[in-house]
Amino acid sequence: MDITPTLTHRTVRGIDVLSDDAAGELGVHVAFVGREGGVSADPYRSLNLALSSEDDPVRVTENRRTASAALGFDPGSLVLVRQVHGGRVLEVPEGAGGVIGDADGMVARGPEVVLAVMTADCAPVIVAGSKGVALLHAGWRGIVGGVVERGLQLVGEPWAGWVGPSIHSCCYEVGPEVVSAWTKRDLPVPGESCVDPGAAAAHILERAGVPAYASPVCTHHDQGYFSYRRDGVTGRQGAFAWLG
């Protein structure tokens, strides 16, 4: 399939959405949402989608309904994982729903489910291929742990990749052990003590011959997104992928 990945901003029901309409017309739906348009109060204001946070679960559930309505899918079709900052990627079993296990990625083979990951600086990564679509949660540990490569392996012949808003190297100072791990994997290190998970994910995709688009949005800089590095206790925005 010939897909040239890109992301275009639009506002739907007060929610900031980055999506690729051309890919959607070909049956691959990708969407990354910001933090506005929900009902949660500080420090989770306002479209916090993470039930794992200390936010009121009633409000989080309402936020999930709001995001689902804006994106056009049934919230009951959501499939998630308990994100553990590693490299494990699960294939979604037939008939699955809700949380399916401890991992940092999922692969869907058909249109019955909508994959979702939650982030607040880590890079959300979507890879579409001949055997399905993968949605990955790629922090620095996930990048080093091979989560992107595992996603590539599971989608068959990969067609395209999208990397959503994440913290950029301008705002992500790390220790020497992280820089060393990056260097050992031949990943770009923009500064002496800074790395960029989103740029690294795009680099891995492109190195594998997969066209990729990485959002220029830095979650630390842009107040329209949750950022753990900036705010500490905070909410999580969502990334979504589905077929059909």
Q: For the whole prediction, is pTM greater than 0.95?
A: yes
In a domain, 3, yes or no: no
In a domain, 59, yes or no: yes
In a domain, 1, yes or no: no
Rounded Cα–Cα distance for residues 114 and 157 (Å): 21
Rounded Cα–Cα distance for residues 4 and 92 (Å): 26
Question: What region does 90 belong to: left with phi over 0, alpha with psi -120 to 50, or beta?
Answer: beta
Return the sign of the alpha-carbon dihedral for residues 199, 36, 49, 17: negative
In a domain, 2, yes or no: no
Where in 57-211 does DSSP place strands (E)? 78-83, 90-91, 98-103, 105-108, 114-119, 123-129, 132-138, 158-163
Confidence class for position 2, pLDDT limits 50, 70, 90:
confident
- Burial zone of 240 (CB within 10 Å; 0-12 exposed, 13-18 middle, 19+ buried): buried
Rounded Cα–Cα distance for residues 148 and 104 (Å): 10
| CATH code, domain with 195 | 3.60.140.10
Residue-level pLDDT at 192: 83
Rounded Cα–Cα distance for residues 240 and 9 (Å): 15
Q: What is the mean pLDDT of residues 156-170?
A: 97
Q: What is the mean pLDDT of residues 97-110?
A: 97
In a domain, 38, yes or no: yes
Tokens linked to 52: 């794992």
In a domain, 148, yes or no: yes
Range of the domain at 176: 8-243
In a domain, 86, yes or no: yes
pLDDT tens column, 50-81: 999 999 999 999 999 999 999 999 999 999 99
Residue-level pLDDT at 174: 95
pLDDT tens column, 6-65: 999 999 999 999 999 999 988 999 999 999 999 999 999 999 999 999 999 999 999 999
- Burial zone of 98 (CB within 10 Å; 0-12 exposed, 13-18 middle, 19+ buried): exposed
Number of folded domains that form the chain: 1
In a domain, 35, yes or no: yes
Rounded Cα–Cα distance for residues 18 and 12 (Å): 10
Tokens linked to 180: 């060393």
Residue 119 bridge partners (DSSP): 237
What average pLDDT does the structure give for the chain? 96
Whether 200 contacts 186, CB under 8 Å:
no
